[in-house]
A and B are shown apart, each in its own frame.
Chain A
């Protein structure tokens, strides 16, 4: 039995934003085990009040530097739903392709730069540049394809430019899309090698039964809009997102928390895969079985594997999307916007889970109310309870303090939290 342990991590590293982990075990009893979010709040929802509709996607993209494309698209979708604008098929395809490329760059960044150093025994990616040059070059190749694609579709890899309500300000050229297609097709060996690398890592065996929330795909693996579902059987329409998120404030955290059927739930790659496994591209499902992933998986450390599987899915799905885009002439695509009084919700699966933007407009198209519910804020309670459970389990063992400390850090990192985002 473990008698005592005192872990106090201030500003966890290799995550986006500021969070602390505190675990105190005394005489074999867990005295304290918590996840604290101390990030400075920015008040985006208040900033938007009184602003003209056009500002929202532009300003809200700035909620996050890693998933700015997802925020922009969720914001655009909320406005289009409020003003009853239906994007064209071409716009929908280009947006999904752009989203896929954000997912790929974000997942690769997390897997190789933030998570892999733990498994390879270093404090950061920097020593790996010399010790594992092939690994780093592979990560850079994959990340570069995704970022280059974001440049040609969105105009920029962070805080996109071309994405607007009603369509795009400018379209990529067909030869640019074809160039991305060729590079994606050539990335297959890098994806195989990535799977091999993560197969060689020992995933900690920690398990805690969890409720998973994601969009529910009807025919496709879901990314943009549609109904939300939980693995406990709750199902809601996009417009009823509040019934899914139930946000509340907690002491010691500047981010809100969420709950549904239990005291917490999880969103993200693991939740998406647990809820929609059958709709993944067959190549992705093959990688999942190679990496011993089977739904429903309750090990939070498997989020890394789920992200890797999703990388495979988005690469193959992007190739199909580009083929569809190349089959027809690309048409200038920007609908005129007629504001009206009303409200709209945009629900989108971003790299870390389901993201909601909700706006209310007056007849002039001025924002009177805004609400953004962020994936990481939905995950915080689950992260906290995972840490609690982990502390409970380790209080009964002889595991070294430093091992617990590392495992607790790896646990939080496996959620790939975007803390600034969660404290928007």
Chain B
């Protein structure tokens, strides 16, 4: 017993050492962060001129889609640097959770990967007195198809081939269908291992919508947050899928472009029927979003994307994330902050940040309507 107690003491001493060491290290880390933060806000100082803080005050809570987290974080940083005394807190959880929080009235706005469903709109009427929840498209982004095939640097695929790969119909990289799309490329006979998200996800749903619209019979599934096809391998989160693709030879998977650039993963160029295959980039995604039509009624700006677009340089596998707010009946204490913050995110300066960070700005025409609606919020 005595010996044991001594061990415990020794163990806790070592544990304390580890913990305090970690604290010291993290303390250094946060020091560095503030330094870079200062630098960035200095660099972004000209943008501060575009931020109008009129009436904004206090604390604004928001919650929702993790797909737009990085963009919102940058916005919040610049915004809070320009408007003192205002605190914006975006909790990136998931679209579903964001909408639940919105409909419970605990957040000023919610971020969502998909537009509100009719029953969710119905529910929102309880919170938005005299109004209802509406969708404002704010952040676009390309969903890249990352691949890892030894010796292959460039890969062109079209919708039907992508569908057949994720459907287990095409099993080897040197399949005729892939060869035909990639003349002059030596493809190995490695088995294809395709990765999808193991948890429900808006990214899965958006890829599903694209395949449903363009791949014809090759993709018989309805688009849903849950991965529909049998076979393949699941991994949790975009980062999980990207890590697996990076690790496994013969792998292909889908995730937001920023994950591909962060890990140096090669991405598929999409053969949309345009003259040349389209690269997954923020600009190209914006071009595809420009082909979208507004499907919402009134001030609701939910978009109906045109996945079959053949416009030159338009990359149609895109994700549009919305900010969900009340058109009327926003809480008086947060309304000025919501308006002022969203005015910034929808401004030219706000949208420019998107392009620099792997996202896609909302095309000018739609963006103009978004700004109109933001100014009319009450």
Q: Do A and B come from one complex?
A: no
Which residues of B are at the interface with A, using a C-beta cutoff of 8 A? none
